[in-house]
Every structure is written in C-alpha cells, then in structure tokens.
C-alpha cells in the first residue's frame, strides 16, 4: 500500500511521545512502519518510524536521513524502507514504481468522484442524479442518456508524470472528452480533449502531467433523442505516474497471475482456468466445470442443447455438391455426457449447391467466379451487355454457400471489446446467413460488409440535384422471445458507424433500403443483441436474426446482374456503351434512340423504353442533364376569376434555416429541431445541408429540405451542437396551389387563412426509406402572401404538430413573406381625381386594399393638369340663358306684329265682301300695298292691355260650323270698345 510523507511536526510529536511513555515495552518491527517527511527546500527528507497503534510500545528507531526526493524505483520494484533500496516485487504481485494503477472496479476506488449534471441551463427540472459512471468489475461504464456524466480524480504529483488509460468509444451518438486541470485551474489544450471513436478494441491514451495538483476529468453525454440505443464508453486500467514512491507491491486480482519477479502487470488467466488473489499460476478447472478468460472461479457445465451448436456449408465440390457441417459453438461450455444433453449431429450430408450469386458464373470445378467487365449474369453463365446498354455494377448476395470475401463476422463483448477466439457470430446456411448463439446473450453479434467505394455509371452525370450515389437493400427477419434488438449501421470504417435504423423484438420477413450519398461510407454493419439483461449465458440462444439477401449498387470493382440502357449522356472514349443522345431513350432490342416527350427527365431506375421518360411535375422544368426537375422560382397562377398572377420567389431561393419550439427529453434536456430549406433555384443552386458536428466524422446530408437536432452543449466552446441529420426532401415533385399532389397532401386546416389569395405550395419527396416511413419522407412548403412581413425567414410549423410532422413522415411548413405575394400590376392600384381648384386638377394613384402584391409595377407619380372651374360655367350659362331669352322675346314680338298685319288685311277684305260668301268684294279703294300702313292702324293700341290685344284672336264657332273671325273696321272696333267698357 502506498504511504504518503508526513510533516516535520510529526517527528516532534514522536519525540515527545517517546519521553512520556518510557515505561512501555520495546517496539517490534511489526509494531511500526516507516514514512518519509516532506521534502525541504534542498530536496532532502527524513525517514521516521510511525507506530501502527498508539500507546502500545516504546523504543522506536531513531529518525534517519532519507533518500533524495527525486529518488524513484522502476516498474516491478518497490522501495524497501528498512534498507531504503529498490527491490523486485515477489511472485503474484506487481508494482508501477512511481505510480498507481486502478484496474479493479468492483466498487468506485477511493479518490474517484462521479456525478451527473444537466446541460439544460435551468429551463426545466432535470433529474441527472443517476446519470453517473458505474463500476462493472473490470471497467467503469459511462451513462447513455442526455445528462452529462463526469468522472474525476484529484492527484498531487511530486515529479512530472503521466496518466494513461484504456477506453472503448464505439458510438458517436455520445461525445467523450478527457481533460486535466492543474492547480491554477488551467485546462489542457482543446485538441487533446476530444477523444476519437475506437474500432473493435480498447485504445490506449496517454497525457503528460505537471508537478503539483492535477484534477483528471472524463466526461460524456448522449445526443440521441429518438429512442435509439446508445453504446456507453468503457474505461479501464487507469495508471498515474509521478505521484510518489511505492513502498510495497500489490497482489494480483482474482482471474490474473504474475509468474515472474518484478512484474509491472498481472496477466489474465486463459479460458478453462481460474486464479485467486495473488496467484502465481492459473489452475485448471475441474472436470464438468468451465471458466471464461480472466475468471476467478469455475462454473458447472450445463447440459448441451440445440442452441449450443450451429450448422454451415462447405464450398461446392467438382460435382456441385456441398456438405452440411455441424459445429459446437466455441468456447464450448456445455456437457454432452450428462443426462438430457444432446449430441452433435453427424456432419457430411451432401446437398446440391445453391446457384452462384448474380454477377458470378459456375466454373468447371463448380466454384463461383465473377464475370468479366462488360458482362452480366444471373448466377449461371455470363452474357455480354447488348449495344446501347451498360452493366449495372454492384454486389448482390442472395445465396449463402460461403461467406463473401468482403464480409466477416465478429462478437463484441463489453468486457474485453471483442472475442478473438470466436469469429463465428454469423454463419451461412444456403438461403440465408444467421446469428449463432455466442458466449453471452448480451454479446453484440456483428456482420460487417466493407465496400471500396462507389462510382456512378458512365452514362449518368452526377448533378447537384442528384443525392443518390448508391443504394443498399437487404431482406431480413428476427425471431425473439426476449427483448432482442437488431441494428443496421453505416460508417466510414468497421466500427465507427452511425445507427441508421433499429428493430426490436420479432420482425417478419421484410425489405429495407438506405441511400448512400458520400464515397466515405465504406462500411455497413448488421448487429444483433439478444438481451441487455446482465449475467445471462445462452439463456435466449434460440433468438436469432436472418439476412436473406443484400444488394448494393454502383460499387467500384463490383459485378453485374443486369444491364441498363445508356440514355443519359455521352460516354468516355473506349467505352463499350453506345448511348443515346441527351433526352432520348432506346427502343427495346432495336438500338434505335427516340426522343422523350417535352419537359421529361430520365430515371435510371425506370424500365427500358419510353417508360424511362418521367414527366416533370406542375410548374417545374427538367435540367440540362435530363436527370431531375427544378423550379426557377417563377410561377404564373390563373385564379378562378380569370386573373393571371405572376410570382417571383427568387429572394427566398437562398438556403434558409430555422429552429422549432424547444422540446424536452424525459430527463428534461432542452433540444430543438433544426430545419434547413432550399426552396427553389436554377441548375447549380446551393443545396440545403444538415451536418453532425458532435464527433470528428462530420456526417452531412444534402437536399431541398433536411433536419437535424440541436442540443445545448459546452463542448468545443459551442453553445449548440447538431446531431442526427437526415433528408426530408431531395426531389422536387411540383409547385401548385392545389392541396395535394402525387399522394402528398397539405390540408388547409394545418395553416388556416382568411385571405382570398391562394397559397403556393412546393412539394418535395425523399426516396430514403426508414422503418417508420416505408415510402420515404416528404415535405410541403406553403408560401403565403404577407406584405407586412419583411423578414425572409418567417417560417412556422403547424400548431398541432410542433415538430413539423403529425405522422413522422410528411413535414409541413408555412413560409409567410412579402416576397410570397404576386408581382404587382396595374390592376392592383386605382386613380383618384381631385376637384378643379383655381384652374388646377390633381390625379393621385393608390393601392387597392387589402394590398396583396409586392414588387413589379410601382405606383405612378401624382399628375397635375389645368382645368375650368364650376363658377365659370355657371356665369357662362346664366349669360347665355339671358341672351337666349332676350332673343326669343324679340323674335316673338316680331312675329306677333306680322300676324296683326295679316289679320287686319283679312278682316278688311271680309267686310268689303258684304257677307256674300261666293262673291268677291269690289274694290272701294286702292289696294294697300305691302309695306303701307292703313289708317286704322293709326290707333292708340298702346292703351290696350296685352290680353285685350289678344282677344281678337279668339274664335267663335257659328251654328253652321264655321269659325267666326271678326274683321277690323272702325265701327266694329268702336262697338267692341263700348262692350268692353260696359263689362267694366
């Protein structure tokens, strides 16, 4: 055990004790031990004897000059305080010299402190009290939830030293950092804080330490918020050097041994052996018992069952036969001789070999060989692709006679990282590959497929709109009686993978597809775990996972199972493929190219022929490479009233990002959903990108619409980190005002509106499928005219679906902006003409209310023109009326006077006729010529009133029916004048 130095005052107390207790018996060597005092400024110290118990003896040895403070022993040695010389550790023990080691984790070692903290900044109550590091015997394991778990250890170094440890960091859904703070509370550089993910084995990490106080920190937190399982970080064999001298050696723990003197480490016992504490050798287990590697005891062997063996096939022989072979699962722990045990079935039964996998052919020796370049096969014979077609290169495994060369299986066990002694985690079985029993039900049974890279076919052009570089499809099923889990992972090496999808419990035979978007995705892993229940050895061995087929496209160095037409672009020189021109398809079997209809693009996964030409959606146009459709952000909409509305969404075309309202995990951690949208744009547009910046992998996805999860964090001085990116829409389906398009619906009730102006909806689709979204994800972006909204990123989610989706597959967004309004035209404003004031009249233009347009036509400037006022026309009318009245009176007087003359002449003519109607009167005087005045006209007519003057015009009808017209004569006139006077 390590002894620390004591202060000089301890020496004085010991002298006082020796003087006052002289009557006690003399001390023996077993009654005391030696310790060093603290070093003085000269680097010297004293060795003093300290009693093990007080007041039991006297006569302790006198203080002696100690070794220099810089003195130390090598690994495997200890300092003998009696002789103050270094000596080698005995058998069954070990030492680190000037260091300490922590390799036993049955409980938390003294000095280590662990606690769980929240990263929620107090926004919601979070219970992280149980989110700590947990000792598990040979290692300590981290938390797997969103709380921050910290493991710390404080140490004081006498000389510059180091800290080293082994860690297993298999899952980048956690972040894992290690850093040191010195006595000035200064942390190590940030570049050494970040731990790299491991592959299959424990990695060793070492950091230099300075003299003085140092606090070591190991910190983890998970960022998987969708219920997927997270593998914890495992930590073991923590070693610190430079702390002080070592005055004794430590015994080897059970399950290990030290067979040599001066050992710095103890060696684990191999399988089928065990050891006790301080063992020199490992003992063999007795008959009928067994032990795993590093065991401290042996266990009875259970009776063998059908779950303790597996079957596989041998390679095909020259006769096309394969042998069915049965093997015990290694290490074999069962006993086949006890009552009720099963025996291993006989091997060697011959069966007909299954066909070769597509792209291979059967050789004369019945083995399978790949077809040459430019050829394809269905598993029997190779055929050359016809003119105008090219091979579809990839891997397709549907027959499992032997394990493919680029696939291997292994077992991951948390205790040791992996099982090198047992590589049979998955076995081939003809029509499928399946999981074997393994050692423990908690083991992870992994099947790993390595891929050298991907390359699009020569006739395809990789455009910015194309997000599919390759696609992997597999068919599987699981049969479980416990809480088994089946994972599918994709990553850039064997172990540094991301969990793409997971299934729990039993699952019927089904297919799953995953899109590959980057050449860095070079590894795929299928992992099966029967149970997370600890200490279960083959309790659920019958639970298994089966994979029936695996197909991955566009693989470099792959083989071809079929040929596709070359209909996208011209190929490189020397290619065997003779393609059709852009926008053309090849008529089946003829080699004749025909043009696709207008505004269509060519899908490589469509059948050969005219069906390969896919029509673009409404208000979209194909790109130049005929591989996809896009929107140029311009749109014309005909309303029901016959009005043509023109839209220009170019100001909204840049990639826009926004956060959802905060959500909280079960622990109370606050997180957000981060969405990035790339609404529209011509060819060469910048796609929306979502990244994962928790680990060094930096995985990213690109498309029109994507999502990631943003979580508060203090790592790398970032306030938020992004994780779990995925594509929502990578293909533009169409742009329309209809509320549904191609089975994608955007109901009006999601975003109610009182406006009579229709919303414009962009529809997107992603071909990436998941377990929950077997048809892929989709998205709708509803653009709504809001002239008052000047922000370009005013995007909201449905009020009743706070995460943007109600079913987890179709996402809905409402984008309100003045740039979502139709372009203004002359129909959107009116003119107002003012009154004519002082000869000036103004014309003003105003927008129709409510305003429902933006940009385009601007309001014309106010017009000013000369005018004639109303008082002028009034004066003019009065004057004209007066003149007209005077003229009318004058004309009336003139004609009245002429009538009087004619009346007089007629009256006089009638008087002179004597009353004979048939006789003409004789002339009694000279006729009065026109223009002459008669005498009777020289009458004072002016004395008569106007009505009196008009009376002669009145006619009296006689009894014979004729009108009586009085004639003018002097007598008659006098007579009537008398009558008038009588009337008065």
Q: Which of 618, 616, 645, 621 is CA-nearest to residue 632?
A: 621
Q: Which residue has the tokens 């040695």?
A: 77
User: Which tens digits make up the pLDDT trace of 324-355?
Assistant: 888 888 778 888 888 889 999 888 888 888 88
Mean pLDDT of the region 418-433: 72
Question: How far, in Å, CA of 965 to CA of 895, rounded?
Answer: 20
**Tokens matching residue 134:** 């947990």
Give residue 967's pLDDT: 44
- Give the pair of three-digit tokens for residue 175: 């972040």
pLDDT at 778 over 90: yes
Please, which pLDDT band fits residue 225 given cuts at 50, 70 and 90?
low
Tokens for 773? 């979204």
DSSP classification of residue 517: -
What contacts 322, CB < 8 A, 6 or more positions away?
313, 314, 315, 316, 350, 351, 352, 353, 354, 401, 430
Condensed to tens digits (0 to 9), the pLDDT of residues 118-176 reads 765 545 556 788 889 999 888 899 988 878 899 999 888 877 888 999 998 877 778 88
- Looking at residue 610, the DSSP 8-state letter turns out to be G
Confidence label for 652 from pLDDT (cuts 50, 70 and 90): very high
The mean-pLDDT minimum among 104-113, 608-617, 661-670, 973-982 falls in 973-982
**C-alpha distance from residue 977 to each of 827, 938, 963, 964 (Å):** 82, 16, 22, 18
The mean per-residue pLDDT over the stretch 741-757 comes to 90
Q: Cα–Cα distance between 426 and 446 in angstroms, integer? A: 7
Comparing C-alpha atoms, which of 361, 377, 324 is closest to residue 346? 324
In angstroms, rounded to a whole number, what is the distance separating the alpha carbons of residues 32 and 724?
62
Among 160, 212, 216, 149, residue whose Cα is nearest residue 188: 216
Give the pLDDT score at 608: 58
The residues with which 602 forms a beta bridge, in sequence order, are: 613
Query: What confidence score (pLDDT) does residue 925 get?
Result: 45
- Residue 605 is predicted with a pLDDT of 57
Mean pLDDT of 29-49: 82
DSSP string computed for 803-862: TSBSSSSEEEEEEEEGGGSBEE-GGGEEEEEPP-BTTEEEEEEEE-SS---EEESPPPPP
State pLDDT tens for residues 492-545: 665 567 778 889 999 999 989 888 877 778 889 999 998 877 666 778 888 999
Least confident of 184-188, 316-320, 473-477, 564-568: 184-188
Give the separation between CA 179 and CA 904, rounded to whole angstroms: 142
Euclidean distance between CA atoms 494 and 448, whole angstroms = 7
Total number of residues shown for the chain: 984
pLDDT score of 674 more than 60: yes
- What is the model's pLDDT at position 971? 44
Task: Decide if pLDDT at 438 tops 90.
Answer: no
Q: What are phi and psi of 528, to 5 degrees?
A: -125, 130
Q: What is the dihedral of CA 453, 459, 465, 469, to 10 degrees?
A: -20
65: helix, strand or coil: strand
Q: How far is CA 290 from CA 310, 331, 440, 920, in A?
A: 20, 10, 14, 174
- pLDDT of residue 667 exceeding 80, the answer is no
The strand pairing partners of 221, in sequence order, are: 175
Cα 195 from Cα 172, distance rounded (Å): 10
- pLDDT of the residue at 869: 63
Instruction: Give the Cα separation of 145 and 221 in Å (integer).
Output: 7
Paired with 845 in beta bridges are 831
How far is Cα 161 from Cα 180, in angstroms, rounded to an integer? 13
Separation of alpha carbons 137 and 103, rounded Å: 9
Looking at every residue in the chain, the average pLDDT score rounds to 79
Average pLDDT over residues 604-616: 70
Buried b or exposed e, range 13-45, using 16+ CB within 10 angstroms:
ebeeeeeeeeeeeebeeebbebbbbebeeeeeb
**Do the beta carbons of residue 728 and residue 778 sit within 8 Å?**
yes
Q: pLDDT per residue over 230-280, tens digit each? A: 788 999 889 888 877 777 888 898 899 999 999 988 999 998 999 999 999
Q: Please state, in angstroms and as integers, the Cα–Cα distance from residue 773 to each residue in 126, 377, 500, 746, 810, following that order.
A: 32, 33, 13, 17, 9
What is residue 948's three-state secondary structure? helix
Mind listing the pLDDT tens digit for each residue in 77-86? 888 888 888 8
Residue that has been written with the tokens 């003519």 in this structure: 909
- The model's confidence at residue 845, banded by pLDDT at 50, 70 and 90, is confident
In three-state secondary structure terms, 26 is strand
pLDDT at 161: 85
What whole-number percentage of the chain has pLDDT above 90?
21
Q: Which of 91-95, 132-136, 761-765, 845-849 has the highest mean pLDDT?
A: 761-765
Q: Which of 128 and 726 is assigned the larger pLDDT?
A: 726
Q: How far apart are CA 13 and CA 7, in angstroms?
A: 10
* Secondary structure (3-state) at 676: strand
Cross-strand bridge partners of residue 501 = 488
Lowest-pLDDT range of 17-26, 298-307, 759-768: 17-26
pLDDT at 508: 92
d(CA 650, CA 752): 25
Q: Which two three-digit tokens encode residue 806? A: 């109600």
How far, in Å, are 218, 598, 759 from residue 615 at the CA level? 57, 8, 24
448: which 2 tokens?
A: 């790993």
Can the peptide bond before residue 387 be classed as cis, meaning omega within 30 degrees of 0? no
Q: State residue 765's pLDDT score.
A: 93
Structure tokens at 376: 């394809």
Residue 956 has pLDDT above 50, yes or no: no
Confidence of residue 90 (pLDDT cuts 50, 70, 90): very high
pLDDT at 486: 94
pLDDT band at 589; cut points 50, 70, 90: low
Q: Are 422 and 416 in contact (CB under 8 A)?
A: no
| DSSP for residue 600 | E
Whether 174 and 143 have beta carbons less than 8 Å apart is answered as: no
Name the burial class of residue 428, with classes exposed (0-12), middle (13-18) and buried (19+) by CB atoms within 10 angstroms of its CB: buried
Residues 798-837: tens digit of each pLDDT: 988 888 898 889 999 999 999 999 999 888 888 888 888 7
Q: Using alpha carbons, select from 650, 237, 583, 605 the residue that is nearest to residue 457.
A: 605
In angstroms, how far is CA 680 from the centroid of its own chain? Answer: 18
Angle at 821 between CA 819 and CA 826, to 5 degrees: 120
pLDDT value for 578: 59
Condensed to tens digits (0 to 9), the pLDDT of residues 943-955 reads 444 444 444 444 4
Instruction: Kindly state the tokens that stand for 351.
Output: 């069966």
Q: How far apart are CA 263 and CA 90, in angstroms?
A: 8
Neighbours of 824 (CB within 10 A): 21
Per-residue pLDDT, 962: 45
Cα radius of gyration (the chain): 54
User: Token pair of 517, please?
Assistant: 């978007």
Q: Specify burial of residue 713 (Cβ count, 10 A radius: 0-12, 13-18, 19+).
A: buried
Q: Which of 602, 635, 628 is nearest to 738 (CA)?
A: 635
Decide: 709 and 223 in contact? Cβ < 8 Å.
yes
User: What are the backbone dihedrals phi and psi of residue 830, each rounded to the nearest 5 degrees, phi first?
Assistant: -130, 160
Helix (H) or strand (E) holding 99: strand 99-102
Flag whether pLDDT at 400 surpasses 60.
yes
Please state, in angstroms and rounded to a whole number, the distance separating the CA atoms of residues 128 and 108.
18
Mean of pLDDT values over 885-909 = 83
| Token pair belonging to 979 | 């009558």
Structure tokens at 365: 């020796």
Q: Exposed, middle or buried by CB within 10 Å (0-12, 13-18, 19+), for 214?
A: buried
Task: Give which of 584, 605, 569, 603 is closest to 458, Cα–Cα.
Answer: 569
Which residue in the block uniquely carries the two structure tokens 């597809």?
Answer: 513
Annotate 327-388 with DSSP letters as a single string.
EEPSSP--BSSSTTPPPPPPP-EEEEPPPPPTTEEE-TTS-EEEPPTTEEESSS-EEEPPTT
Query: What is the number of helices (H) and of strands (E) in the chain?
Result: 4, 71
């Amino acid at each position: 055990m390590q002894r620390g130095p004591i202060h000089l005052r301890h020496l004085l107390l010991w002298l006082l004790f020796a003087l006052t207790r002289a009557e006690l018996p003399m001390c023996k060597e077993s009654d005391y031990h030696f310790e060093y005092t603290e070093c003085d400024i000269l680097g010297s110290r004293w060795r003093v004897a300290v009693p093990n118990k007080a007041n039991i003896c006297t006569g302790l040895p006198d203080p002696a000059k100690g070794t220099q403070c810089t003195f130390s022993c090598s690994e495997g040695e200890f300092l003998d305080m009696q002789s103050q010389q270094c000596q080698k550790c005995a058998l069954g023990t070990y030492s680190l010299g000037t260091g300490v080691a922590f390799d036993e984790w049955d409980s938390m070692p003294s000095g280590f402190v662990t606690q769980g903290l929240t990263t929620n900044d107090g926004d919601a109550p979070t219970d992280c009290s149980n989110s700590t590091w947990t000792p598990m015997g040979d290692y300590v394991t981290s938390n797997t939830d969103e709380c921050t778990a910290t493991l710390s250890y404080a140490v004081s170094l006498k000389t510059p030293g180091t800290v080293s440890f082994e860690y297993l960091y298999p899952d980048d859904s956690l972040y894992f950092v290690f850093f040191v703070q010195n006595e000035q509370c200064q942390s190590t550089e940030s570049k050494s804080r970040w731990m790299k993910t491991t592959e299959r084995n424990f990695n060793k990490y070492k950091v230099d330490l300075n003299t003085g106080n140092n606090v070591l920190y190991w910190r983890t937190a998970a960022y998987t918020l969708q219920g997927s399982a997270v593998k914890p970080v495992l930590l073991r064999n923590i070693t610190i050097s430079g702390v002080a001298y070592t005055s004794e050696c430590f015994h080897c723990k059970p399950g290990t041994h030290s067979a040599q003197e001066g050992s710095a480490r103890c060696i684990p016992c191999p399988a089928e052996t065990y050891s006790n504490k301080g063992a020199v050798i490992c003992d063999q287990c007795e008959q009928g018992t067994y032990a795993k590697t590093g065991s401290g005891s042996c266990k009875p062997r259970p009776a063998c069952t059908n779950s303790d063996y597996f079957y596989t096939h041998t390679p095909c022989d020259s006769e096309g036969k394969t042998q069915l072979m049965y093997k015990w699962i290694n290490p074999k722990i069962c006993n086949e001789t006890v009552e009720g045990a099963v025996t291993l079935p006989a091997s060697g039964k011959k069966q007909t070999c299954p066909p070769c996998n597509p792209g291979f052919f059967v050789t004369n020796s019945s083995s399978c060989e790949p077809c040459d370049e430019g050829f394809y096969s269905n598993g029997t014979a190779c055929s050359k692709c016809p003119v105008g077609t090219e091979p579809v290169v990839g891997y397709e495994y549907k027959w499992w006679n032997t394990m493919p060369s680029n696939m291997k299986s292994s077992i991951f066990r948390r205790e040791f990282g992996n099982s090198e002694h047992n590589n049979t985690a998955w076995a081939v079985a003809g029509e499928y590959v399946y999981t074997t029993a393994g050692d423990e039900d908690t083991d992870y049974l992994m099947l790993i497929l390595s891929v050298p890279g991907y390359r699009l076919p020569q006739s395809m052009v990789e455009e910015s709109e194309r997000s599919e570089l390759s696609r992997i499809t597999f068919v599987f099923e699981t049969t479980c009686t416990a809480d088994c889990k089946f994972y599918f992972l994709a990553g850039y090496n064997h172990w540094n993978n991301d969990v793409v999808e997971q299934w729990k419990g039993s699952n019927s035979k089904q297919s799953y597809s995953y899109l590959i978007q980057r050449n860095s995705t070079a590894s795929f892993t299928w992992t099966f775990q029967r149970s997370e229940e600890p200490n279960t050895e083959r309790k659920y061995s019958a639970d298994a996972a089966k994979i029936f087929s695996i197909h991955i496209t566009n693989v470099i160095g792959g083989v071809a199972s079929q040929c596709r037409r070359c209909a996208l672009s011209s190929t490189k020189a020397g290619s065997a493929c003779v393609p059709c021109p852009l926008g053309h398809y090849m008529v089946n079997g003829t080699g004749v190219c025909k043009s696709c209809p207008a505004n269509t693009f060519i899908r490589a996964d469509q059948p050969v022929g005219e069906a390969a030409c896919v029509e673009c959606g409404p208000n979209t146009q194909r790109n130049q490479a005929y591989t996809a459709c896009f929107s140029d952000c311009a749109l014309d909409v005909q309303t029901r009233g016959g009005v043509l509305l023109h839209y220009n969404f170019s100001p909204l075309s840049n990639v826009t990002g926004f956060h959802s309202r905060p959500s909280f995990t079960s622990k109370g951690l606050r997180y957000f959903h981060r969405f990035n949208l790339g609404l529209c744009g011509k060819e060469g547009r910048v796609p929306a990108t979502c990244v994962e910046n928790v680990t060094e992998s930096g995985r990213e996805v690109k498309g029109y619409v994507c999502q990631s999860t943003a979580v508060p964090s203090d790592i790398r001085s970032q306030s938020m980190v992004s994780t779990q990116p995925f594509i929502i829409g990578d293909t533009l389906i169409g742009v329309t005002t209809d509320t549904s398009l191609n089975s994608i619906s955007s109901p009006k009730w999601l975003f109610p509106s009182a406006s009579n102006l229709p919303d414009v909806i962009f529809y997107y689709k992603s071909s990436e499928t998941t377990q929950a979204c077997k048809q892929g994800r989709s998205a709708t972006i509803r653009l709504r005219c809001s002239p008052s909204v000047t922000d370009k990123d005013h995007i909201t989610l449905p009020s009743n679906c706070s995460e943007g989706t109600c079913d987890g597959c179709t996402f809905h967004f409402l984008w309100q902006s003045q740039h979502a309004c139709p372009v203004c035209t002359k129909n959107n404003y009116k003119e107002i003409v003012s009154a004519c004031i002082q000869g000036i009249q103004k014309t003003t233009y105003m927008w129709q209310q409510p305003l429902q347009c933006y940009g385009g036509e601007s309001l014309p400037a106010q017009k000013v023109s000369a005018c004639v006022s109303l008082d002028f026309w009034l004066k003019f009318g009065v004057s004209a009326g007066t003149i007209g009245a005077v003229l009318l009176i004058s004309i009336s007087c003139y004609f009245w006077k002429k009538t009087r003359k004619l009346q007089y002449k007629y009256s006089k003519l009638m008087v002179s006729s004597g009353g004979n109607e048939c006789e003409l009167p004789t002339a009694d005087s000279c006729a009065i010529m026109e223009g002459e005045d008669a005498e009777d006209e020289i009458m004072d007519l002016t004395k008569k009133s106007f009505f009196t003057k008009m009376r002669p015009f009145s006619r009296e009808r006689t009894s014979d029916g004729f009108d009586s017209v009085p004639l003018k004569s002097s007598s008659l006139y006098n007579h009537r004048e008398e009558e008038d006077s009588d009337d008065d």
